Structure 1
Amino acid sequence: MQLAVNKGPFETDIVPERRDVAQVADRSIGRVLACNGARATIGTTLPRSGTPGPDTWTIGRMISINLGRSRIVGIVYEIRAVKESWDEQADNAVHIDVELLGEVLDNEGGRPYFQNGITTYPAIGAIAHRIRAGDLALVHDLGARTGVAIGHLTQDATIPATVCIEDLLSRHFALVGTTGVGKSSAVALLLRKAVAARPKLRVLILDPHNEYAHAFPDKAVTVDAQSLDLPFWMFRLEEFADVVFRGRPAPDEIDILREIVAAARARYRAPSAQDLTRDLGTSLLKRPLDPNAPRDTAPKPGASGDTPVPYRMTDAFAVIDELTGLHEIRYPRAALRSLKVRLEALYGDPRYHFMFARANLVESMAPVIGQIFRIPQHGRPICVFQLAGLPADVVNSVASVLSRVAFDLAMWSQGSFEVLLLCEEAHRYVPADQALGFAPTRQAIARIAKEGRKYGAYLGVVTQRPGELDPTILSQCSTIFAMRLANDRDQQIIRSAIADASTSTISFLSSIGNREAIAFGEGVATPMRMRFAELAPHELPAMAGASVQDGAGRREPGLEELVNRMRGGSW
C-alpha cells in the first residue's frame, strides 16, 4: 500500500515506514531542500505553541532520509531559523544542515545493513526524520568483527557503544581531552576491557601522577621508586649520560663516559687480575687490537657502552682514577674529576637507589623484565609504573629504557608476548617540537608506533594537549577517542590526524559533556558520539587512592617525615 504524504507544496509517494510498535510516531518529518553530494539542507517547521519532542533536530544527532528502498544517514551540524526573528503567533520555518555519512540498504535476504558512502542521493522533497533505533544500531554495528561495549551512544542510551579490541590494540589508539573530562576513568575502562578480551596481554602504564594503581586493585602491580630495581647498567650510553649530565653534556664528557663504561664492563667480565690489567691498558691507551691475539685478550662480549652487560660503579671510579694518573693525558684532569664527582653524587643519592643500590645483586635482566612486564602474570597483567616518585632528571631516561625493552620483548619473543605501552601525558615524551623532549625516548616510542604491530607491541597515547604531541605519533594511532577540547589548534590536530574526522563532527568537541567522546578510526564501525560507562568507585583512578579533596581527612605528616619523603626516603 502506498501512502501519500502532503507537506506544503510537496506531495510524494513513499513506502510505508516499518517502525516498531514502541517507535515514537512523530519523528519530526522534514523535506530535503538542497543537496551538494556531501551535505544536505532539510526544511521543516516548528510549532508556535509547545516545544519539540526530545532529541528532535538536535546538533550532533543522526537523522535519516527515506528513499523508499534505502535510507540515507546524516548527522546534524547546524540548525537555523529562516527568518531573522521568531514569530510567537505562527509556525516558524527552520533549516537543518546535515552531513551525509552513508546509507542503510537491504541485502538479498531482506536484512538491512549500513555502508559508508552514498550511492543514491536524495531528491528534492525527500522525507527526512529522526533515525530509527534499528538503523542507528546498524550504523554502529561492527559486523563480523568481535566487539566489546565500553558505554552507550549519546543519541540513544539503549544502544551500546562497541569497539573492536583487536583493531584498537594492534593499530594503536589515542585518547585526548582537556583536564577534568574523565580521561583517566575512560583509560581505566578501556584497559579493563582489553585485558578481559586478551588474557595474554601485558600492559605497562607510564603513570606520571601516580593515579592508576587505585584503578586496578585486582589486576595490577605497582612499581614505584622504592620497589623498583632498574640497574644503571641497563641504560644505554645516551640514556645514562642524560642522567649524569642532566641533559646538557659536553662532547668531551660523552667521550670520557663512553670509555669509562666500556673499560668498567671489561673489568667486570675479566677472568683474572692479569687479564683485567691487559684489557684496561688496551682500553685506556687506545692501542689497536691484534687480530691474532689470544682469546683472553680479545674484547669481551658486551664491552660496548650500549649492551646491557653488568659493571660496577667502583670499577668506573677506579678507571677514572687511572685515567687521571696516566702520564699521557688525553682528557683534561678537571673534566675527569668533575665526572667522578657527578657519578659519586648519583651513587650516594637515596633518590637514585633504584638504579644503584641493588644493581649488582643480579647479573641478568630477567628479574627486572619479569617484574615490570609481568612474566609470569600471576593474574595481574597490568604494571602501573609510578613516575612521580622518581627524580625529574631521570624520568625521560627511564621512559626510554622501558619503551625500548617493551619493543624488544615483543620482537624477540616473536609475538608470543603481547605488550601494550600506555603513555599518560604523552606530549612530555614525544613533543611536537623536535628540539624538546629526549631523543631516545622519542625514538623508542616512535619505533613501537611504526613497527610494533608486526611483533605484538602496541601503543596507547593519552594527552590533554594533542597540539603539543608529535603529529607523526598521533597519525600512527588508528583509533582516537576525542573528549572535550576547547583549543582550536587541538581540534585542528584531530581533524588532520583522522581522515573521517569531518568539520561538522569536530565542531562538537568544544561542548560535549564529561565522559563523552567522539570515537574515530579502525576500532569503531563509523565515527560515533558516545558516553563511556561509569566505573565503580573502587575502579576509578585516584591520587594514591584518594583525590586531593580527600586530603583534609588524611593524617598530616610531621616536618621530618615530609622532608624525608622529599629527599627520597621511605614513604
Structure 2
Amino acid sequence: MTPRNQTGSTFSRKGAAAPTAEAFDMAFQDKPRVGSVVSVTGSHALVMLDADKPDADRASRPQLGAIMSVDAGSSIVLGLVSAMSMPAPSLDVATAEMRIIEIELIGEFMKPTINAPARFRRGVSSYPTLGDNVHVATRDELTALFAVNGAASVRVGVVKQDVQIPATVNVDEIFSRHCAILGTTGAGKSCAITLLLRAVLQRFPHAHVVVLDPHNEYSKSFGDGAVIFDPTNFNLPYWMLTFDELVEVLYPGRPRDSEEIEILADLLPAAKKMNLTGSGRAGRLRTDMTAITVDTPTPYRISELLGLIDRALGGLDGTRNVAPYKRLRSRIYTISQDARYAFMFGGLTVQDTLKDLLSDLFRIPVDGRPVSVIELGGLPAEVVQVVVSVVSRLAFEFGLWSNGAAPIALVCEDAHRYAPANPNEGFGPTRRSLVRIAKEGRKTGVSLWIASQRPTELDPTILSQCNTIFAMRLANQADQDALRAAVPDASTSLMSCLPSLGLGEAIAVGEGVPMPTRIRFDALPSGAVPRSLTACFTDGWSVDIEDNSFIDRIVEQWRAQRMLTPDIE
C-alpha cells in the first residue's frame, strides 16, 4: 500500500517511488474517521462511532461485514464488522446516542520501510490501542488488498462492499490446499464451480481437471474444452479394482464370509500371474512375478479365476467345507453378468488398457481439452460409488508415482454421498480414497474440490482439510454450526450472513483469498450455465402428456438402469 499522491490517489502508480512511513501516515489521516477504539479483547475490538454527519452517505458508514482499518502504529490493522448495537437508545432527539460496532481483527498492512514496501499479511502483530482512529477501508485499500495474489491469481467476481473491486483467488492455494463450495440446493454451487474452473483454465489451459458429475449438468459448461464420459463410452476394467473395492462390489451392503474372502485373496494373485505368463501384451511386459499382489493393477480373466476355484474344489478332500468355494464362485459369476457393471465386465477380451485410460481420463496430453466430465446420473448408487472410488484412487496413485509432475484436480459434486459423516454409511473404499487425497494430496499434486448442500452429513476430516471455503446460502442451523467449526480463519462472524446471501453470493474464507469477505460471483455466459434439473411443476401441470410412447421410454430406462435418451418431453 502506498500513500495518496498529489493527484488524490491513495496508492502510487506503477513505477513510482516507494512511499515513506511518514507519507503513509499522512495518507491514512486523510481518510474520514468513523470512530475510535474503546476496547480490545483478543481478536476483537469495540469501536465507538462518532456523531452522525449529515452529509455522509451510506457508503462511508460501517455496515455488517464491511472491512475497517485501524492505525496501530507500525501497521494498519484490518477487521470485519461483526456486530452493531446501540446499547442505550434515547427518545430525546437532541441527545447524542452511543453507537458501538464490534470488529473482528483479520490481518494488517505493514507500513513501508527503507528496505521493504508496504505489504499485507494475515494475523495481527501490533494490536490497536484505546483511542486509535478507525476508518472504513477505502477503494484503493481494498484494491491493493485483493490484488496481493499477483500473477498466480484470477478474478472470480466482485467484493460485495464495493462492486468496483474485483474478487480474486490464488490458484496455487485453492488447488494445493483443497477447496469446498457449500450451500443449499439452488444457491448456485454448480455455477460457482464452473465459473472458478473456467477462470483458472483461461489462465492455465494445460490443467488436468476431472469432474464427477452425479446430475449430468456440466456437459456444455466447458464447450470444446471438455471430454464427456458416460456409460456408453466409459470403460473401467474390473482388474483395476483393489481387493477392498472388489470385495465391496461382490458383497454390497451384505455380511461377508471370512472364508470366502480368504479364498479370493489366495486365488486372485494366481489369476493375475497366469495372464502375465501368457502370450498377450501383459505377458510381454517385464513384471516381477513376486511383486504381484491382490492390489496390483494388472489384467486377469474372470474365466481363469473361476477355473482356479473349480480346480480348488476338485482338489478338496472330504474333510474340507466346499460351500464357501461354491458361494464365492456363484457371486463372482453373478456380478460379472450383471448389466449394471457392463462397463467393468462387459469386454470380450482382456487387454492392458491402463495407460490409455490414464491418458484419456487425466487429459495427458491435454490436446486443447483439459477437463474430463464423468456423467454418473442415472446409474445405480452402488455403481456410482465404485466409479468414484476407482477414479479418486487412480488420481492419487498417479500423483504419487509421478511425483506430482502433472497435478490433477478432482471435483466431487454431492461429496456427502461418497464420504458421509456416519462411518457405517456409504462405500468404504470411496471414503478412504477421498480422505487420503484430503490428507496427502497436497504432497502428490492431487487437489480435491468438494461441493455439498449438507456440511453436517460430510466427513469432518475432509471438510477440515479444505483450506479455502466458498460458503453460499445455508439456512439450516446445524449446517451453519458445522461450517463455523471448519472455517480456517477467525471469521466466524461472517457466517451469520449465510441465511441472507443472495443467488451467486458467497462468504469466501481461507488461504485462497486475501482475507475473508463477502463476494458476488461473476455471471456465466448463457451457454456455460450448468443444466439445471429442477422440475417445473407449473409447466408440467399446464399440459397433458399425449405421447403414447412416453411411459414406454420411462420403463425402458428404468429396467436398463441407464438414461437411454438425455431429454424426455
Aligned partner of 1:468 in structure 2 is 457
Alpha-carbon distance, 1:17 to partner: 5.7
Is 1:55–1:155's contact at 8 Å kept on the other side of the alignment? no
Aligned partner of 2:44 in structure 1 is 39
- The count of aligned residue pairs is 526
Aligned partner of 1:505 in structure 2 is 494
Is 2:158–2:164's contact at 8 Å kept on the other side of the alignment? yes
Alpha-carbon distance, 1:151 to partner: 0.7
Query: Higher mean Cα deviation, 196-205 or 137-146?
Result: 137-146
Tell me which of 532, 549, 558 is aligned to 2:550.
558
Aligned partner of 1:286 in structure 2 is none
Q: Is 1:136 paired with 2:128? A: no
Aligned partner of 1:256 in structure 2 is 263
Alignment of 1:87-106 (within 5 A): 92-106=97-111
Q: 1:329 to 1:88 in 2, by over 3 A?
A: farther
Is 2:301–2:350's contact at 8 Å kept on the other side of the alignment? no
TM-score w.r.t. structure 2 length? Answer: 0.82
Structure 1, unaligned runs of 5 or more: 1-13, 273-297
Aligned partner of 2:61 in structure 1 is 56
Aligned partner of 2:508 in structure 1 is 519
Q: Distance in 1 between matches of 2:196 and 2:294?
A: 39
Q: 1:321 to 1:382 in 2, by over 3 A?
A: same
3-state SS in 2 of match to 1:458: strand
Alignment of 1:174-253 (within 5 A): 174-248=180-254, 249-253=256-260
Q: Distance in 2 between matches of 1:389 and 1:361?
A: 27
Q: Is 1:357 paired with 2:337? A: no
Alpha-carbon distance, 1:355 to partner: 0.7
Q: Distance in 2 between matches of 1:104 and 1:265?
A: 61
Q: Distance in 1 between matches of 2:308 and 2:301?
A: 11
Query: Higher mean Cα deviation, 467-476 or 483-492?
Result: 483-492
Alpha-carbon distance, 1:406 to partner: 0.8
Is 1:223–1:386's contact at 8 Å kept on the other side of the alignment? yes
Is 1:46–1:52's contact at 8 Å kept on the other side of the alignment? no
Is 1:311–1:360's contact at 8 Å kept on the other side of the alignment? no
3-state SS in 2 of match to 1:535: coil
Q: 1:171 to 1:118 in 2, by over 3 A?
A: closer
Tell me which of 418, 441, 444 is aligned to 2:407.
418
Aligned partner of 1:457 in structure 2 is 446
Q: 1:431 to 1:329 in 2, by over 3 A?
A: farther
Q: 1:59 to 1:318 in 2, by over 3 A?
A: same
Alignment RMSD (CA, Å): 3.4
3-state SS in 2 of match to 1:416: coil
Alpha-carbon distance, 1:360 to partner: 2.5
Alpha-carbon distance, 1:232 to partner: 0.9
Aligned partner of 1:445 in structure 2 is 434
TM-score w.r.t. structure 1 length? Answer: 0.82
Deviation track 1:491-510 (CA, whole Å, cap 9, x = no partner) reads 33333334423332332333
Alpha-carbon distance, 1:469 to partner: 2.2
Larger Rg: 1
Is 2:36–2:49's contact at 8 Å kept on the other side of the alignment? yes
Q: 1:102 to 1:361 in 2, by over 3 A?
A: closer
Q: Distance in 2 between matches of 1:67 and 1:375?
A: 51
Alpha-carbon distance, 1:310 to partner: 1.7
Q: Which amino acid aligns with 1:156?
A: D
Alpha-carbon distance, 1:382 to partner: 0.8
Q: Which amino acid aligns with 2:462?
A: I
Identity rate, percent: 37
Tell me which of 63, 72, 80 is aligned to 1:75.
80
Alpha-carbon distance, 1:16 to partner: 6.5
3-state SS in 2 of match to 1:548: coil
Q: 1:383 to 1:87 in 2, by over 3 A?
A: farther
Aligned partner of 2:536 in structure 1 is 549
Q: 1:347 to 1:511 in 2, by over 3 A?
A: same
Q: Distance in 2 between matches of 1:237 and 1:219?
A: 35
3-state SS in 2 of match to 1:567: helix
Is 1:29–1:129's contact at 8 Å kept on the other side of the alignment? yes
Structure 2, unaligned runs of 5 or more: 1-23, 280-286
Aligned partner of 2:424 in structure 1 is 435
Is 1:45–1:91's contact at 8 Å kept on the other side of the alignment? no
Deviation track 1:302-342 (CA, whole Å, cap 9, x = no partner) reads 75432222222223333343344444267644444433333
Tell me which of 463, 483, 486 is aligned to 1:494.
483
Aligned partner of 1:268 in structure 2 is 275
Deviation track 1:6-31 (CA, whole Å, cap 9, x = no partner) reads xxxxxxxx9776799xxxx9x67334
Q: Distance in 1 between matches of 2:292 and 2:320?
A: 21
Q: 1:146 to 1:372 in 2, by over 3 A?
A: closer
